[in-house]
Amino acid sequence: MNAFFVATEFAMVKVRKSRIETLVLDGAQNVKYTLKVVKDLNSYLSACQLGITLASLGLGWIGEPAVAAMLTPLFNLMDLPEAAVHSISFILGFSLITGFHIVLGELVPKSLAIINTEKIAMYTALPLVWFYNITFPIMWAFNHSTSLVLKMFGVSLVDEQDIAHTDEEIKLLVEESYNHGLIDKTELTFIDNIFDFSEKTVKEIMIPRTDMECIYLEDSFEDIIAFTLDEQLTRYPVCRDSKDNVVGFVHIKDLYKQKIEGNSQKIEDVIREIKFVPESLSISELLKVFKKDKVQMAIIIDEYGGTSGLLTIEDILEEIVGEIQDEFDEEVNEIIKTEDGGYSVDGKVLIEDIVELLSIDIEEENIDTIGGWVYSQLSSYPQVNDKIIYENFEFIILECDSKRISKVKIKKLVEKSIEKIIEK
């Protein structure tokens, strides 16, 4: 009896309500009672606790004296004093009953319920419902007493099924699933990226203004065609005079169609409207805008109304699935481990990625990239081989482009190396 209630309790707690609902829709047998139990889990868990308590009390009340009575004649043959026989019989009887109770009444049914959760939940639900109905007056009194006691401590009764998991808890569950081989590395990465997805702003992942490849209204049509052939992109922002004055974008399909058909070769005839969004917008919100308006590119505007960068739907998707490359993309490794144990890092790598890689603490609210952070630590314009020391790491500028740091080497320093640098 104790084993039944223990197995039922663990099975009902562990079984997923969504899975039971699916089985009900599929017409599985003996499932409707399981669904009834999980929908009112607190009440039925109280019934399990009552059953376990009654079984334990009954076992102690009947089992121990019965076993002691069986052992007493054996000890009487040893000519032991009556008091000693009684004490030894009691101790052995208590030990045997306790051992059987723990192993057969607790541990075995618990393990079986964890291994065969759905099956046990399905087969034990109906007897549990019967037991609950029979003991309903007692259960009602216990449940209301529990609620009153909890209210005295300012706590309300919460159903186990209503307790939602936090992001961190779900990540831990996913990590455990990966460690047990239930999901692969790719699936683990996707799920981790999805949780990070909603926390990032467009500023963090945008193509910066300096890297934007734009078409200018002042350029000739032939120059524009030649430019697009060199760059091999699909969409280009169109600017008047400077990147701060973006008037729209063009799709190469429209450009080449115009050239092939021999129509008016004016770039103005194929310009499409482009979206403008602030730097503070989350990428999840921008994705909704892309889907709603059926567009794939947006210009990012800074707080002063100037162009900060651009973002495409591909950039957003890459935050979940990783780098997406076509046959024209050149493969670029943003973080490369060097032979001396250091790292060669692209200046556009996010600070949070470096923090995770090196396990160091870098907090900069207005700077997103490692190149920008290194720049902020310098007292003058950056030059190749300029270096800074931060938390036992040396950051060396490998490449600069128009006063922008495009590549940095990061090397961990031992104490002797730090002392030498300080002495210099």
10 pLDDT above the threshold of 90: no
- pLDDT band for 327, please (50, 70, 90 cuts): low
Q: How far apart are CA 271 and CA 221, in angstroms?
A: 13
10-34 mean pLDDT: 80
What is the greatest pairwise CA distance in the chain? 121
pLDDT score, position 286: 93
pLDDT score, position 84: 66
372 pLDDT above the threshold of 70: yes
pLDDT tens readout for residues 43-96: 888 888 888 888 878 776 776 666 666 666 666 666 666 666 567 666 776 777
pLDDT tens readout for residues 226-279: 999 988 889 999 999 999 999 999 999 998 888 888 766 788 889 999 999 999
168 pLDDT above the threshold of 90: no
- Give percent above pLDDT 70 in the chain: 85
Report which of residues 137 and 416 the model is more confident about.
137
> How many other CB atoms are there within 10 angstroms of residue 269's CB atom?
11
- pLDDT band for 158, please (50, 70, 90 cuts): low
Per-residue H/E/C for 281-327? CEHHHHHHHHHHHCCCEEEEECCCCCEEEEEEHHHHHHHHHCCCCCC
Placement of tokens 């992109």 in the chain: 233
> How many other CB atoms are there within 10 angstroms of residue 255's CB atom?
19
Contact 112, 7 (CB under 8 A): yes
pLDDT score, position 311: 94
Please indicate, yes or no, whether the overall pTM of this predicted structure exceeds 0.85.
no
Torsion sign (Cα): 62, 68, 71, 72:
negative
26-46 mean pLDDT: 81
pLDDT tens readout for residues 265-316: 788 889 999 999 999 999 999 999 999 999 999 999 998 889 999 999 989 9
92-111 mean pLDDT: 80
Written as one string, the DSSP assignment of 352-401 is HHHHHHHT-----SS--BHHHHHHHH-SS---TT-EEEETTEEEEEEEEE
- pLDDT band for 331, please (50, 70, 90 cuts): low
pLDDT score, position 408: 92
204-231 mean pLDDT: 90
Lowest mean pLDDT among 16-30, 64-78, 106-120, 379-393: 64-78
Placement of tokens 């009954």 in the chain: 58
* Residue type (1 letter), 33: Y
> In whole numbers, what is the pLDDT of the chain averaged over residues?
82
138-165 mean pLDDT: 73
356 pLDDT above the threshold of 90: no
- pLDDT band for 328, please (50, 70, 90 cuts): low
pLDDT score, position 169: 74
- pLDDT band for 333, please (50, 70, 90 cuts): low
pLDDT score, position 248: 94
pLDDT score, position 122: 87
37 pLDDT above the threshold of 80: yes
Quick one: which of 289, 334, 332 has its CA closest to 313?
Answer: 289
Token pair for 380:
């003058």
329 pLDDT above the threshold of 60: no
Lowest mean pLDDT among 16-25, 271-280, 305-314, 330-339: 330-339
